[in-house]
Structures are given as C-alpha cells and as structure tokens.
Amino acid sequence: MTLKLSANAPRWATEYQNCWYYKNGHGEQWVATILKDRLVISGQDIGWKEIALSGEQALMEKKRLEAFIQNPDQTNNELIGVIGQTRSEIAATASDNETLFIEELEHTINAISAKFPLFNLIINEGERLWLLSIISAALPRLNVND
C-alpha cells in the first residue's frame, strides 16, 4: 500500500512499509512506526513534528489515554489539580518574582511533557483511540509488558 501523504511528511512514513496510518474527519493525517527502540508518531496537525516515545513513555501514555477514555472529566480534573497544586507551590516559593514563577512553571510543564510526550497534543476522540491502539500494538514490540 502506498500512502499519499501531504507535503513535509517524515521520510520514514513514505519509505517504510511497516507504518500505522490514520486520517481524521478533517483530512489531517497521522503516521506511526517503530524505529529502533522507539515508537515514533507524527501528524499533519502538528506540522509533521516527530514525537519519539520510549517503551516506558509509551506505557505511561497508554495508561493516561485509557484513563481519559474511561472518565474524561475526572482525568481532566486530576490534571488541572496537579497543575494547580504545582502552580501554588511555585507561587509560594517565587513570592513577587514573576520571572522566576514563569521559569518554574515552564520547568514543570517540561517535566510533565517529558513523562507524557503526547500530553500537549490537542486531539479528538478518533485520534485518541488511534493512538491508544497503536501504542497497545507497539508495546510488545518495544519489549514492554503492561
């Protein structure tokens, strides 16, 4: 099967046969593959930026996506709570120094993104289900037991 991907798609998506593909209702394309010991995901919606997940990160994202699908309101509230708590802790230590506060908040967001590389993606339900299915299929190939 030959994929007809939009311009600037990753080279691996057009050269490799072993690739997962998804096209949402808006025509935005997503691709994923395993390169070495990483699950690599890219999408037109994110400017074909490549996001590489280790086995551990893929497992954490699978658990996060499953929790979100099972109870989206609770999952969102928990994430908002964690960010709010972190923000309060930072605000308490930053006192009046707004620059320090912003730097600490950025550091926290980067730490969350390091643990959950797909956290910042704005994705619809179909994309979320596709990501969950490819992560589930990729975990055994990444030698990760869930």
State pLDDT tens for residues 63-102: 988 988 887 666 555 565 555 665 566 566 655 666 777 7
Residue 13 lies in a domain: no
Q: How far apart are CA 130 and CA 133, in angstroms?
A: 5
CB 65 within 8 A of CB 57: no
| Residue-range definition of the domain harbouring residue 108 | 20-141
Judged by DSSP in three states, 83 sits in helix
Q: Is residue 59 part of a domain?
A: yes
Please state the domain count of the chain.
1
Instruction: Answer whether residue 2 is part of any domain.
Output: no
Any domain includes 10: no
pLDDT, tens digit, 9 for 90 and up, residues 99-120: 777 777 777 777 777 788 887 7
Q: Is the residue at 96 inside a domain?
A: yes
DSSP 8-state class, residue 115 = H
More confident of the two residues 122 and 99: 122
At residue 136, the pLDDT reads 96
Q: Considering the domain boundaries, does residue 8 fall inside one? A: no
What count of residues does the chain have? 146
Average pLDDT, the chain: 82
Residue 10 has a pLDDT of 86
pLDDT of residue 78: 56
In this structure, is residue 146 part of a structural domain? no
Q: What is the pLDDT of residue 57?
A: 93
In a domain, 9, yes or no: no
What pLDDT is recorded for position 15?
75
Question: How crowded is residue 103: how many other Cβ atoms within 10 Å of its Cβ?
Answer: 13
- The 3-state DSSP class for residue 27 equals coil
Residue 82: per-residue pLDDT? 57
**Tens of pLDDT along 31-44?**
999 999 999 999 99
**Strand partners of residue 22:** 30
Helix (H) or strand (E) holding 17: none
Q: Does 121 score more than 70 pLDDT?
A: yes
